[in-house]
């Protein structure tokens, strides 16, 4: 609480952005040195992919009805592995207090972490999706940017809520178990929207019948981008 007067001295949105950017760069630099978030996420994603290929045998059956479900189950599982580790560096070094004590708005920490999650989960999902299409011999009929925009919408919502929940579970010391338990029920609207939109794209190559799902995803994203930083303030409070 003592740092509050310091924080107010030089607030402002530019400073918030600069601080968030600095935290994002720090996380990316850390990842480049020792990929503690991305590497397990990638490995896990590939293993899930292989398990699905072996379990379902896409060569001998029509996987079209189940493919969207498989795709998003994989992405969400891998994403949860990554999100659970977003704060592990801070927790093991005890440097979260340092970040919180810095004369910046706490929302900057949230947005920095949010940006990091967006990059890491986005990278994994962006690699995994084409591979899943390849392994399961699926084709999108419409332009590729449609699927990419669904990925982006889902990714933003997932990471926005994931960052908040990860900050809570990191403090319990059981993040790897607790995070998926808390995050999956919260992301159900995203899963539903993503699966419906992808199924629509695979079947007729457009969002035509599914516009309401796009609105739902956009609403969810917005909700947690606003709610996330507001509540994050309480999560990292030093008592």
Chain residues in the site for another protein (CB under 8 A): 161, 164-165, 168-169, 171-174, 178, 181-182, 184-186, 188-189, 223, 227, 231, 234-235, 237, 239
Our CB check for another protein shows the closer of 17 and 184 to be 184
Q: Closest distance between another protein and the C-beta of residue 133, in Å? A: 26
Q: Closest distance between another protein and the C-beta of residue 178, in Å? A: 6
Our CB check for another protein shows the closer of 8 and 212 to be 212
Q: Which among 101, 94, 64, 77 is positioned nearest to 173, based on CA atoms?
A: 94
Our CB check for another protein shows the closer of 17 and 234 to be 234
Q: Cα(68)–Cα(149) distance, rounded to whole angstroms? A: 15
Q: Closest distance between another protein and the C-beta of residue 17, in Å? A: 24
Our CB check for another protein shows the closer of 189 and 205 to be 189
Our CB check for another protein shows the closer of 25 and 227 to be 227
C-alpha distance from residue 85 to each of 15, 56, 145, 157, 194 (Å): 27, 30, 29, 18, 24
Structure tokens at 136: 């399961």
3-state secondary structure string across 5-42: HHHHHCCCHHHHHHHHHHHHHHHHHHHHHCCCCHHHHH
Q: Cα(182)–Cα(152) distance, rounded to whole angstroms? A: 22
The overall longest dimension of the chain from CA atoms, in Å, is 66
Q: Closest distance between another protein and the C-beta of residue 239, in Å? A: 5
Q: Cα(128)–Cα(116) distance, rounded to whole angstroms? A: 18
Q: Closest distance between another protein and the C-beta of residue 10, in Å? A: 27
């Amino acid at each position: 609480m003592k740092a509050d007067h310091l924080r107010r001295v030089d607030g402002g949105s530019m400073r918030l952005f600069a601080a968030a950017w600095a935290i994002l760069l720090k996380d990316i630099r850390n990842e480049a040195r020792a990929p503690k978030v991305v590497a397990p996420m990638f490995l896990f994603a590939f293993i899930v992919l292989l398990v699905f290929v072996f379990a379902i045998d896409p060569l001998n059956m029509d996987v079209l009805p189940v493919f969207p479900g498989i795709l998003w189950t994989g992405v969400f599982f891998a994403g949860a592995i990554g999100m659970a580790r977003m704060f592990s560096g801070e927790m093991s070094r005890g440097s979260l207090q340092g970040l919180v004590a810095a004369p910046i708005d706490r929302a900057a920490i949230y947005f920095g972490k949010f940006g990091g999650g967006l990059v890491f989960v986005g990278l994994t999902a962006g690699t995994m999706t084409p591979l899943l299409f390849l392994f399961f011999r699926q084709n999108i009929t419409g332009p590729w940017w449609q699927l990419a925009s669904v990925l982006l919408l889902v990714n933003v919502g997932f990471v926005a809520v994931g960052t908040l929940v990860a900050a809570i579970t990191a403090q319990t010391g059981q993040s790897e178990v607790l995070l998926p338990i808390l995050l999956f029920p919260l992301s159900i609207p995203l899963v539903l929207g993503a699966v419906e939109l992808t199924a629509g794209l695979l079947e007729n190559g457009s969002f035509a019948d599914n516009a309401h799902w796009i609105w739902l995803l956009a609403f969810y994203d917005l909700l947690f981008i606003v709610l996330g930083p507001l509540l994050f303030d309480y999560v990292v409070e030093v008592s």
